[in-house]
Structure 1
């Protein structure tokens, strides 16, 4: 599993696509998951690196 933080940016969207094309499992962390769409294979989790309380430990 590879986690991409900030997976909604221009560069990160390409990184996510390349990882999926390479057969990797991808998790994207974004501040507001409902504002963005990702391929079905991507696990999307909420989180904000500037707010540690939003980060799950598991």
Structure 2
């Protein structure tokens, strides 16, 4: 597995309880993400971001 963190960063997060391990031990360790985290963002919708050909015709 390739990690995006250095060994020191991983050990720091693990010691703080920020890494999730599966209960039976056979899963992949994951970084915990909280709703209040600054990296949390609401994804936009394809239907509201992409315009139709009729919209383009009206804009011309």
Q: Over alpha carbons, which structure has the higher Rg? A: 2
**Which of the pair has the greater relative contact order for Cα pairs under 8 Å at 6+ separation?**
1
What is the TM-score with the length of structure 1 in the denominator? Answer: 0.26
Structure with the higher strand share, 1 or 2:
1
